[in-house]
Amino acid sequence: MRRLMQQLRNDRGASAVLTVILLVPIFGMAAIGVDVGMLYYERAQLQNAADSAALAVATKCSVSRCPSSGNTAIASSFANGNAKDASVAIDAQEIDPAARTVRIDVSTLNVDGTTAPYHPFAAVIGVSDNDPVTATATAQWAAGDITLPLAITTCEFDITAAGDGLLHWITYDTNKECKGNPAEPAAVGSFGWLELMEDADGNPVGCVADIASDGSAESDPGNPGIPNIPVCHAAFTESLSGRTIYIPLADYKIGDQPGGKAVWHIKEFAKATLHSWAFSGGSNLPQVFDRTRRDIDNLNCTGSCRGVLVEFQEYVPVGSVPGTDVSTTVSLIN
């Protein structure tokens, strides 16, 4: 009996030693269970932030002008607004206008400005990973049909061979009058740039015509040059050639506005494929593109000529045109 009691005394503290030894695998399992779970959660939040940022920038590109690759204000705003901790670093913003894609790379951003994720349990057993959690998203905007903010009078847009699949130059004629409604003044001048649609702050939302549901639209008649607005200059690029466009057709003038402007009545739209154009203000893009190309009548638009080379498809009523802008359909592709 005395020997047994002595043996028990000698084993005192063994459980404490065993507990200390087992703490290493215990904390290791905690690191796997808790820290890895936190990393997956952080990764999901970053992916949501990257997706939102890519879609926002692609939408901006689809309705007006893409931001520069270094201007990440839109991406940062949407990324932080769609992450739980509202703390996301924009590592890269790559925009490819030709492919119509936007790629956004994001990573973790701690309140102290560091990017390494915090591992509370793994740190106890000496495990640390200084690499930030990252996510990437790529969005693409659609190459939709475009409604030009350029009105042409119905008298000028007189393609008798409608839908013949042939090319026709529609040229600017300052002396041509159009009076589709005998009771209203004639629309003088065959071309007129329409007033652009604006947001609540008075800024153009794109090279977009502001046409009312009754077909009325303010215009600048007799001005065959592209409006000196960046969003309109950005719309007239080489990629516009070969695209389907809608051209507002005006049949009479509703009235005059201050500053020499007028209100035209848009009768309908001409759906056509745009191939070339020539406007005043320059001899290269965006004002001019492939003006020497000849139409079915062997005509081009060189010298003082102003016009558009189109392949007419059909007339479309007011109200059935899909908005007055490039399609705003955007989607994630990666």
Q: CB-based burial of residue 125 (10 Å sphere; 0-12 exposed, 13-18 middle, 19+ buried)? A: middle
Q: pLDDT tens digit string along 254-284?
A: 888 777 778 888 888 888 899 999 988 889 9
Residue 77: is its pLDDT beyond 80? Answer: yes
Measure Cα distances from 52 to 41, 62, 144, 169, 241 in Å: 17, 15, 21, 43, 31
Q: Which pLDDT belongs to residue 113?
A: 65
Question: When comparing pLDDT for 139 and 318, which is higher?
Answer: 139
Give the mean model confidence (pLDDT) for residues 8-32: 61
* 41 beta partners: none
* 96 beta partners: 101
Q: What is the pTM of this model?
A: 0.56
Lowest-pLDDT range of 17-21, 71-75, 128-132, 159-163: 159-163
- Report the alpha-carbon distance of residue 305 to residue 322 in Å, rounded: 31
Q: Which pLDDT belongs to residue 325?
A: 39
When pLDDT is cut at 50, 70 and 90, the band that residue 326 belongs to is very low
Beta-strand pair 146-147/244-257: parallel
Q: Which pLDDT belongs to residue 278?
A: 92
